[in-house]
Structure 1
Amino acid sequence: MSILTEAAAPQRLSYLTVVRASAAYDLVVTAGFATPWTFALVHAGLNALSGALGLDAFPGLDPMQILYANLMGSVVVVWSLLRLARPQRLHGLLDAAARVLFSLWMAYALASGGPDLLWPFLIVEVSWGAIQLAPWLSARSRPRA
């Protein structure tokens, strides 16, 4: 039986609250990435925070970096709005999968010399992923009636 079946889905309404909460977090954190103008402000703010914490400065912006940040920001904003407006258990599972991927790429960036300011974001991504994935794994391991 597939993990995507209703029998394996988390059954509690509180799971949808988690799906919405993770969507709200994503919306707040990534909305600034959605346009070139807001991304420039976010970049400057993160760079200033990094400097205030005694960490390395962020690299300068170039057009391709801005494009990729805007694409990511736009997709995550739309994905967040969907999960806020119409949360579903499957959305939580798919979001957990996306967070696993985001976490892998953040870890890769950190291992490749990326800014240490990524650590808190990596911890949050792993946490949201685990919170949303755990009920699925638990439901899957329970004996079926």
Structure 2
Amino acid sequence: MWTTAQYRQLVRASGLYDLIITIGFVTPWSFALLQQWLGSLHGMLGLSGQMPLFEPMHVMMANLMGSIVCVWSWLRIRHPQRRFGRYDAAGRILFAIWQLYALAHGASGLLWVIFSFEVLWAIAQWAPVRARRTVEPRWA
């Protein structure tokens, strides 16, 4: 169970994590470098699955995803509210489902790392938050 202050720190930390993980998806140029690096890492580790080749339309979709996730991340960093944490947990569950789908259809094993973090962040942000205690007046 989180206190309100701890939960706000968690929401902020999840936003920072997402910003770091997705910043490379924001532009076609940064995505090309990220894709090259991930492909090299995939090959070096000898993982199952494959790294796809991206056509311009795929790159644009990756850039759209990166852009909106970075904006959403910045919102949670600047305004780490409980409701944003709950929405983020729901979004992470959806992301995790689509990652499992991709893995089942031959995506790179690198995706297991990201999947694990998505599930952990979702569980953490779905955890209960201790309600504020109200102080009752003492009657003499």
Do Structure 1 and Structure 2 share a fold, with TM-score over 0.5?
yes
2:44 to 19, 28, 52: 52
Alpha-carbon shift at residue 57 of structure 1 (Å): 4.2
- Deviation readout 1:94-117 (Å, 9 max, x if unpaired): 000000000000001001111111
2:9 to 17, 27, 30: 17
| Paired residue type of 2:8 | L
Q: Is the CA contact (8 Å cut-off) linking 2:50 and 2:106 kept in structure 1?
A: no
| Paired residue type of 2:82 | R
- The alignment status of 1:87 with 2:75, answered yes or no, reads no
Q: Distance in 1 between matches of 2:46 and 2:58?
A: 24
User: Structure 1 unaligned runs (5+)?
Assistant: 1-9, 140-145
Identical positions, percent: 50
Correspondence for 1:122:
115
Q: Distance in 2 between matches of 1:121 and 1:28?
A: 13
Correspondence for 2:32:
40
Correspondence for 1:77:
70
* 4+ aligned runs moved over 4 Å, structure 1: none
C-alpha root-mean-square deviation of aligned residues, in Å? 1.5
| Paired residue type of 2:63 | N
**Count of residue pairs the alignment pairs up:** 129
Rg bigger for which structure? 2
| Paired residue type of 1:51 | G
Q: Distance in 2 between matches of 1:91 and 1:59?
A: 33
Q: Is the CA contact (8 Å cut-off) linking 1:51 and 1:57 kept in structure 2?
A: no
Correspondence for 1:103:
96
User: Structure 2 unaligned runs (5+)?
Assistant: 132-140
Alpha-carbon shift at residue 35 of structure 1 (Å): 0.5
- The alignment status of 1:27 with 2:19, answered yes or no, reads yes
Higher relative contact order (CA 8 A, sep 6+): 2
Alpha-carbon shift at residue 64 of structure 1 (Å): 1.4
| Paired residue type of 1:48 | S
Provide the TM-score with structure 1 as the length reference: 0.84
